Amino acid sequence: MIVGATAAAGIVAGFVAYPKPALALVGFQVVTLVACVIGVLFGRGAFSNAPGLCLACVSGTIAVAATLGSQSVQWRLGSGSILSWTALHLGLALVVAGVGAVLVLGRRAKTSWRRLMVGAALGVPVVLVVGSRVVPAGRGAWAWFGSLGPFVQTMIAVPAFLLLGALCCASVDLIIRAFEAGRTDEQPEA
């Protein structure tokens, strides 16, 4: 409901708050409003066969529309940042996705949550290495690595790449299997 109200306000703001109408912003707000209507319908009992999928679609739509809508305003009109509005939509989309995940993982809680936690733990080193390229504190390590000779870089990079690739694959596989364990049909688990 909060996202729907802010989307309706965004539609009005798209016509009023800028020197020329921000039609891309308005369009993305309409998409967000439709996603909110589907979310409300879900809350009233529709789409009960696949609650996790429904909430994933609603949250994904809200997140993408918020991001692209804010980018269209900043890029096209050179306006100031609408970061707080975008952050609100992204935060609420994350909450909706979390509710959907809990619904699916709760079906077979013991198996699902264990797989999810192991998968997330295996993904931590990958996220840390990738994140170190962005965070200023990690740039020193990358500068040090760049100062090594090509042979030493290769001797470090190849095994590290293979290890991180294996961890990433295992992490994604376990996370997918965690959500697969919540399937309600009678197919046997692989």
> Is the pLDDT reported for residue 101 higher than 80?
yes
52 and 77 part of one domain: yes
Q: What is the mean pLDDT of the chain?
A: 84
Same domain, 73 and 113: no
Q: Are both 120 and 93 inside the same structural domain?
A: no
In this prediction, residues 112-133 reach a mean pLDDT of 92
Indicate if 175 and 124 belong to the same structural domain.
yes
Residue 117 lies in domain: 108-190
**What's the burial of 144, exposed, middle or buried (CB within 10 Å: 0-12/13-18/19+)?**
exposed
Q: What is the pLDDT of residue 77?
A: 47
Q: What's the whole-number mean pLDDT along residues 124-141? A: 85
Q: Check whether 161 has a pLDDT greater than 80.
A: yes
Q: How many domains does the chain have?
A: 2
Q: Within this chain, do residues 117 and 100 fall inside the same structural domain, yes or no?
A: no
1-39 pLDDT, tens per residue? 788 888 888 888 778 877 778 788 889 989 999 999 998
Comparison of pLDDT for 43 and 187, the residue scoring more:
43
Same domain membership, residue 123 and residue 66:
no
Q: Examine the domain organization and report whether 65 and 3 are in the same domain.
A: yes
Q: Using alpha carbons, select from 29, 92, 81, 85 the residue that is nearest to residue 59.
A: 92
pLDDT band at 187; cut points 50, 70, 90: low
Query: What is the CB-side half-sphere exposure of residue 5 using CA atoms within 13 A?
Result: 4
pLDDT over 70 (residue 125) = yes
Question: In this structure, are 8 and 93 located in the same domain?
Answer: yes
Q: Is the pTM of this model over 0.75?
A: no
Residue 78 above 60 pLDDT? no
